[in-house]
Structure 1
């Protein structure tokens, strides 16, 4: 079986910042994700900031995943091990399929930049229904690394696989 051709049309993306303190003005990581997606020719179909609460994160991801105008959900924040970091726990339970390589490669690349501290990242990716989901740390440097090295180069291909 041959692989489908990567998409040539824009991918519709929802961006979620998980934070108890960020606002639309101070959300550098969410703004960076949107800017990088726009530069790559993709569309932002939704952008939200939600508190790091499972009852805020889970239903929002489920709702966005059910929308026909959302191909990808990218979350930033809440992937560490602090007591308030619940994004990973919520996202991991939603995923129908995981992409273990994403987290593994992201931590490997992070290790090259920040050393052993990279092991505390619980960045994860996978598929919820027919929607691709990426959950990134809240750091702008981590977001830039994940977006430029992993997500943007593969986004059209991965979405085309889900549509085939």
Structure 2
């Protein structure tokens, strides 16, 4: 059963937060603020925070830059996961992924169904791995960011979480690149 193992020490991870929006800035980025507050409250480090317009190439470039930065373990983006023409964050993430974490979107949908019912089908939340870094794309609402953090990411980014978590395998994400 899922639980916190108090015999293990908490390990803080460095997390970058990206808000994708054509209209937001830091003064009114409620989704980004929600993530930052939760990341810090959990004991992790907000390593960087940016806001970018809905431009696929710019988003992918920023994701790659953060993946190349040894000071960043996780990237969480918010916004651009819907169905409209400007919603291209998922495509930008997939341009960068080496491996997709298929179950992340599924689990997010299950969590969302409990809160918003069938409206959950309109989200394309996704997760993946690239260059030894975890990447997650969340919808652009504070509620969706709360749900994803509180119900999935807070647990999976806690080294003490059992039976398994993302942090314990973090050092092995890029092992294929080290075996030459």
TM-score, length-normalised on structure 2? Answer: 0.85
Displacement of 1:159 in angstroms is 2.5
Aligned 8 A contact 1:7 1:159 in 2: no
In the alignment, what sits opposite 1:53? Answer: 55
- For residue 152 of structure 1, the aligned residue among 136, 142, 154 is 154
Inter-partner Cα distance in structure 1 for 2:72 and 2:92: 19
Inter-partner Cα distance in structure 1 for 2:105 and 2:8: 22
In the alignment, what sits opposite 2:169? Answer: 161
1:23 aligns with 2:25: yes
Inter-partner Cα distance in structure 1 for 2:85 and 2:94: 17
Displacement of 1:6 in angstroms is 6.9
Superposed CA RMSD: 1.4
Aligned ranges 1:1-150 → 2 under 5 Å? 8-150=10-152
Q: Give 5+ residue unaligned stretches, structure 1.
A: none
Q: Structure 1 pair 7/47, CA: closer, same or farther in 2 (3 Å)? A: farther
Aligned 8 A contact 1:132 1:159 in 2: no
TM-score, length-normalised on structure 1? Answer: 0.93
Displacement of 1:72 in angstroms is 0.2
Displacement of 1:84 in angstroms is 0.3
Structure showing greater Rg: 2
Inter-partner Cα distance in structure 1 for 2:139 and 2:152: 14
Segments of 4+ moved more than 3 angstroms: none
Aligned 8 A contact 1:6 1:160 in 2: no
